[in-house]
Structure 1
Amino acid sequence: MRRARGFSLLEVLVATTLLAAGMALAFAAISNASRVTANAEAEASRSERLRAVQGFLRRQVEGALAIPIEPQSPGDAPRVFEASADRLRLVAPMPGYLSRGGPHVQTFRLVRGPNGLRLEFEHQLLGPEGPIEDEREPEVLLDGIAEASFAVRGLDEIDEAGDWRSQWQTTDQVPALVRLQLRFAEPRARWPEFVAAPRLGLAPPPGQAGQEGLE
């Protein structure tokens, strides 16, 4: 019987090289597919987070109440809404799943963190003698912010929309509009401009005449 001829060393080397090249191509394709999937999932998670934060911020700002944030001295106008470029402070109900109900003093604050600016939120139950101290740390709603600022808008002397301002001076009233402009350090993260209209905007507390104004 004729003896079967085996593979030569050159043929084995060529086959091994082709197999290695094929495996490298397959690994690269799987790696790229995994990277694309991970990026898509991260983008979806980021978008969902932004929608949740915007929805929460809108719900709380629109529900702002004309209730004094702190007890007032006799003859002083109550402070029901405070706003500056880096902070909002107001009184509004908290969602049932986050508290036991009742009006809470709520603060949205832009602070410097290790990854740039971040948006923090804290709330305190409003008692008869003012806000009740809370031992919980502020909740970080957003991080990695390059720049951001709050602005408010009221009505002028003829009841037309005034200019956007970074400081709300008429603290005994709720402004007509509240805005948050924000840009992330990550270019792919997009923040749609946030504008909310409090339902009690420019409504003075009971027994308070007040005057609309911005500065």
Structure 2
Amino acid sequence: MVRNATILRLRRRRAAEAGVTLVELLISMVLLVVITGFLVGGIALGRRGYVADHASSADGETVTALDALGGLVSAALPTQAEKIGPRVAFDGRSDALDFVGLSAGHALPGGPLGFRIRRNGTNLEVEVIPPPGAAPLPQGQVSNVVLRAVSELRFSYFGAMAAGTPAVWQNEWLSADHLPALVRISVEFADSRRERPPLVVALRQR
């Protein structure tokens, strides 16, 4: 009888211990699910923050590059093209622009220099070339990538090509004896989040 009671007590103790272990397992599983939820939420929040910061950085670089491009175009000079009558050295096309501007003389020789703005693949580049009638540059042709991941580059020009004609926007400005009043630069990107309104530049010397 005593032995049977002892065995019964041992079985009850083991059953109670097994019940506690099961409860602890369930609590651990619940805690694991909660912690996993917090981790997943934190990772998603961090990813969204990284994407937003990256987009903001790219947007800032785009604005800075377009401002620099506008400053370069605004300083175009009405330099006469060599041996071509009264026309100026300004070849404005819908997809590229060649003109003469001033160099500050830091990395390049000071004075008038030729500039070509165009899209090369997915890069928007500014090439530095000798102005009409000048000797080749000592360092050869210089090309700088201003913007990357560019899908489209378009130019348009505002002004009157000849006296007595109305000033209108046009896709080309070629063989003119004066500079246009305005140049509009439209840049499109592969990432639509980088899109900016067209940049309209007023030329200071006409």
TM over 0.5: yes
Secondary structure of residue in 2 paired with 1:188: helix
Which residue does 2:10 correspond to in 1? none
* 5+ long unaligned stretches in structure 1: 202-215
**2:58 paired residue among 22, 46, 51:** 46
- 2:150 aligned with 1:138, yes or no? no
Q: Tell me the number of residue pairs that the alignment of Structure 1 and Structure 2 aligns.
A: 190
**1:17 paired residue among 10, 29, 53:** 29
2:80–2:86: 8 Å Cα contact kept in structure 1? no
Structural mapping, 1:30-41, within 5 Å: 30-41=42-53
Structural mapping, 1:129-208, within 5 Å: 129-132=134-137, 134-135=139-140, 138-155=143-160, 157-158=163-164, 160-162=166-168, 164-201=169-206
| 1:56 counterpart letter in structure 2 | A
Q: In 1, distance between residues paired with 2:33 and 2:89?
A: 70
Q: Which has the higher helix share?
A: 2
Once the two structures are TM-superposed, the CA of residue 15 in structure 1 deviates from its matched residue by 2.3
Q: In 2, distance between residues paired with 1:135 and 1:10?
A: 79
With the length of structure 2 as denominator, give the TM-score of the two structures. Answer: 0.78
Identical pairs, percent: 24
**2:70 paired residue among 46, 58, 83:** 58
Larger Rg: 2
| 2:21 counterpart letter in structure 1 | L
2:93–2:174: 8 Å Cα contact kept in structure 1? no
* 5+ long unaligned stretches in structure 2: 1-12
1:110–1:120: 8 Å Cα contact kept in structure 2? yes
Q: Deviations over 1:44-67 (max 9, x none)?
A: 212211211121111111111122
After superposing the two structures, state which structure 1 stretch, 32-41 or 6-15, moved more.
6-15
CA-based RMSD of the aligned residues comes to: 2.7
With the length of structure 1 as denominator, give the TM-score of the two structures. Answer: 0.75
Once the two structures are TM-superposed, the CA of residue 137 in structure 1 deviates from its matched residue by 5.3
Once the two structures are TM-superposed, the CA of residue 20 in structure 1 deviates from its matched residue by 1.6
